[in-house]
Amino acid sequence: MVAELKALSDPTRLRLVGILANGEFTVQDLVSILEMGQSRISRHLKIMVDAELCTVRHQGTWSYFQLNGQSRFFHTIRQPVLESMVNIDGFEQDQAGVARILNDRMQKSRQFFDQHARHWDELAADLVPVERYMEAILTEVDKADTVVDVGVGTGRLLTALSSRSAQVIGVDHSSPMLDEAKARIDRDGLGNIELRLGEMSHLPLADSSADCAIVNMVLHHAANPQTVFSELSRVVKNGGKVVIADLLEHDLDWFRERMADQWMGFSRAEVKQWLSAAGFKLLKESQYELNQNLPSVFVMTAEKYN
């Protein structure tokens, strides 16, 4: 407790807390936001890590810093500390910088998918063969469900979802991807599907409007994965389900470059933590080995309980 209070006694470290409350950021991101030298920021981050105010996650050649959700003391004082941030000099500048960094991440992802939409099925078939784990997703869908396919892409799940649910709403932030999904719908004669343009962090759906939300291989493209879970909690009904399929943590830089991934997969522990914080209870989980040259895939099903 003493170490954490000492770490919080510095204005720059308080500003860092306010920034990291928005997600994970690299030293380079923080240099850009705070407009300070890298050595100065690195020194402050070391103090915060040593005091267990934040943790660092290594993703290939990059290191991402985030607030430590496991610190019991900081968890107790976190909300009043964050509420007081508005009175700190530089707060508005910091939040504008955070918004700029997150927007840059989203733009980079959107540009990649816009560029590769017409050839996405061919690329994804080799690197993310959904057929290997698709049944684990589909088994969670009920005939009476309104299902949201978050990050629908070209609609690789749409034909199967259409036959297993009452209504499917596909959301994606790439217009060219939605064009490809629309072509699939027309080709397969699917009549219970609606496509909508939107970000996974700001879904174009009303509160509590979905029975089931599927997030298949898109979380690692999210600018800020944690915010996706709070948005899923908003749109899924109480008692409804969310199914997350994504990559387990890996160190394959070539895979990240090829797929323009923001994150090199996730640990099961952090995904479970995000689910719990957003009001979901884990029901089941499974793991799939695609082949020895590709990252492993996890599938988690959780139920909204509040």
Predicted confidence at residue 70, as pLDDT, reads 75
| Average pLDDT value for residue range 215-227 | 94
Indicate if 152 and 282 belong to the same structural domain. yes
Nearest CA to 98 among 116, 84, 85?
A: 85
Indicate if 137 and 72 belong to the same structural domain. no
CA distance 301 to 298: 10
Q: Could you read off the pLDDT of 146-170 as tens digits, one per residue?
A: 999 999 999 999 999 999 999 999 9
Tell me the CATH number at 85.
1.10.10.10
| Average pLDDT value for residue range 129-157 | 95
Q: Is the pLDDT of residue 31 over 80?
A: yes
Q: Which helix (H) or strand (E) holds 79?
A: helix 72-83
Indicate if 140 and 243 belong to the same structural domain. yes
Residues in Cβ contact with 190 at an 8 Å cutoff, skipping those fewer than 6 apart: 158, 159, 162, 184
Predicted confidence at residue 206, as pLDDT, reads 97
Predicted confidence at residue 185, as pLDDT, reads 97
CA distance 304 to 201: 18
Q: Could you read off the pLDDT of 255-268 as tens digits, one per residue?
A: 988 888 999 999 99
Q: pLDDT category, 303, cuts 50, 70, 90?
A: very high
Predicted confidence at residue 87, as pLDDT, reads 84
Residue where one domain finishes, among candidates 70, 89, 108: 89
| Average pLDDT value for residue range 34-49 | 95
Q: Residue 246 is part of which domain span?
A: 119-304
Indicate if 32 and 163 belong to the same structural domain. no
Indicate if 143 and 184 belong to the same structural domain. yes
Tell me the CATH number at 270.
3.40.50.150
Residue 100: inside a domain, yes or no?
no
Nearest CA to 24 among 216, 227, 201, 199?
A: 227
Q: What is the mean pLDDT of the chain?
A: 93
Q: pLDDT category, 78, cuts 50, 70, 90?
A: confident
Indicate if 25 and 124 belong to the same structural domain. no
Predicted confidence at residue 119, as pLDDT, reads 92
Q: Among 27-31, 74-78, 90-94, 179-183, name the one with the lowest average pLDDT.
A: 74-78
Q: Is the pLDDT of residue 306 over 80?
A: no
Higher pLDDT, 293 or 169: 169
Q: What is the percent of the chain with per-residue pLDDT over 90, rounded to a whole number?
A: 78
CA distance 246 to 256: 13
Joined tokens for residue 33: 């936001």
In total, how many domains does the chain have? 2
Residue type, 94: D
Q: Is the pLDDT of residue 291 over 90?
A: no
**Contact call for residues 302 and 281 (beta carbons, < 8 A):** yes
| Average pLDDT value for residue range 70-74 | 79
Residues in Cβ contact with 72 at an 8 Å cutoff, skipping those fewer than 6 apart: none
Q: Which residue has the tokens 């309104």?
A: 146
